[in-house]
Amino acid sequence: MSILGTDQRPLRVAIVGAGPAGFYVAEVLFKHDLNIKVDMFEKLPAPFGLVRYGVAPDHEKIKNVIKIYEKTASHPQFSFFGHVNVGVDISVLELRRFYDATIFCYGAELDKHLGIEGEGLKGSHTATEFVGWYNGHPRFRDQVFDLQCEAAVVVGQGNVAMDVARILCSTADELSKTDICQHALDVLAKSRIKEVHVYGRRGPVQAAFTPLEIREMGQLSNAYPVVDPKDLELNQASLLELEGAADAVRKKNLEILRSFTNVPPNSSRRKFVLHFKRSPVQIIGKNQVEKVKFEINELTGEPHQQSVKGTGQFEDIECGVFFTSIGYAGVPMQGLPFSPKGIVPNDHGRILADGKAIQGSYVSGWIQHGASGVIGTNKIVAEETVGSLMKDLAQLAPCEAPSTEEVVKLLKSRSIELITFIDWKKIDAYEIMIGLRCGKPREKITRVSQMIFIARDP
């Protein structure tokens, strides 16, 4: 039997998902002094996951990581197969036939819901729908957002909630220089929103946003920040939470929030209002969102373990559009175990079924560790996952059919329109060319059929 990872028998690895996790896994694999063939499968025709479809359009510099992913994609042993929905177009079991190891990096695309009355009303949306819509994700292309009201409410105080609030507070002029999709820009340009209210159930010290994001909210050309100084009064436990060296971010956040209390009102600008210690309990309206009812909370318990307790006091806010931004969870994939925590159960990246590692099956990125951290966090996780694979190498059972040609044949026999990296680069060039015409870095193609059409155009 030939040894896996040699010139006689390269180690064959399938990566499922072309987001940061998938690309970091490929990059780390290629750093090993072994002969490794990597085939990456992605559901959409476009690679890069949430770097393309999540990161805010006005955070252009963050998208520079794509250059690193493109370098990985140029490796002679790397192939990209876009427009392949693993679990649907090809099963997990089938992948095992063609690959010695499969590393699942398919992200966490399910929105967490509040589970309160009125969430289904017209005008009530998740941040994922809004972000996906303005970033051109094909699944959200046809979502409708009515911004002809005066007030928007966003529930959640992480960086995604800040992205949503910032986009709602930005001017069309500011956004028109970004890669925001034209269909979204057209709607945002006509927005009549004057106030954006962002709510968190805990206090300012526990908010999940980072200083960079909250500072930006005070630097917008057409909006000013508002914080009630009473909301910044801290209980003893919160004061103690600020003391550790690891809490520098919280301290910085608080400093910025305090500076917001000195910003004078400006009626010619939009108002961005932060509210703390408020939990939504009901979205009210006949057919359409009209009001949101919040319960006022207090924090109790030890520092870093404080819990939220409702006070039985309530307040309403009128608004015409409502967004939830309270986090993400993974979705189960046919053929893989799944944990109620919304991840694939694993031990240092080895997928576990009933507590035992499944030979040759690994996981990385958000679907491994949950939806938290920044893009770079996925690199650290990728090193761990690939490290586990390397430790297992000698025990790996070689796959039955070590041939990428056979995989391609199988997918083509199922009439899958495969998108290679060269095809993607054609779509990429087209988007950049269309964007240039209107002074934007790119104009994204938002329909899968159109992407395939461009890729096939000689």
* Cα–Cα distance list, 327 to 72, 113, 199, 297, 340 (Å): 30, 9, 14, 20, 15
Residues 199-258 that bind ligand FAD (CB under 6 A): none
Cβ at position 352, least distance to ligand FAD in Å: 19
Residues 251-310 that bind ligand FAD (CB under 6 A): none
Cβ at position 290, least distance to ligand FAD in Å: 27
Size of the site for ligand FAD (CB under 6 A): 32
Cβ at position 234, least distance to ligand FAD in Å: 28
Edge-to-edge strand ranges of the sheet holding 307-318: 278-284, 291-300, 307-318
Cβ at position 136, least distance to ligand FAD in Å: 13
- Is 404 within 8 Å of 80 (Cβ atoms)? no
- Structure token pair of residue 15: 């990566």
What phi, psi does 328 have (nearest 5°)?
-130, 155
Contact stretch for ligand FAD (CB under 6 A) within 85-93, 176-184, 267-275, 291-299: 85-93
Residues 6+ apart with CB under 8 A from 120: none
CA dist., res. 74 & res. 76, Å (int): 6
Neighbours of 117 (CB within 10 A): 13
Question: What count of residues does the chain have?
Answer: 458
The full DSSP string for 141-154 is TT------SSEEEE
Q: Does 106 bind ligand FAD (CB under 6 A)?
A: yes
Indicate the residue among 23 and 272 with the shorter CB distance to ligand FAD.
23
Indicate the residue among 299 and 333 with the shorter CB distance to ligand FAD.
333
Which of 5, 45, 107, 138 is close enough to bind ligand FAD by CB under 6 A?
107
- Structure token pair of residue 35: 């002969």
Indicate the residue among 162 and 292 with the shorter CB distance to ligand FAD.
162
Cβ at position 87, least distance to ligand FAD in Å: 5
Q: Does 156 bind ligand FAD (CB under 6 A)?
A: no
291-300 and 307-318 as β-strands: parallel, antiparallel, unpaired? antiparallel
Cβ at position 451, least distance to ligand FAD in Å: 13
Residues 6+ apart with CB under 8 A from 99: 12, 13, 14, 39, 360, 399
Which of 19, 204, 280, 330 is close enough to bind ligand FAD by CB under 6 A?
19
Q: Does 86 bind ligand FAD (CB under 6 A)?
A: yes
CA dist., res. 448 & res. 113, Å (int): 28
Q: Does 320 bind ligand FAD (CB under 6 A)?
A: no
Q: Does 21 bind ligand FAD (CB under 6 A)?
A: yes
Residues 6+ apart with CB under 8 A from 228: 261, 275
Residues 33-62 that bind ligand FAD (CB under 6 A): 41-44, 49-50, 54-55, 59, 62
Which residue has the CB atom at the shortest distance from ligand FAD? 19
Interaction site with ligand FAD (CB under 6 A)? 16-22, 41-44, 49-50, 54-55, 59, 62, 85-87, 105-107, 131, 160, 163, 365-366, 373-375, 378
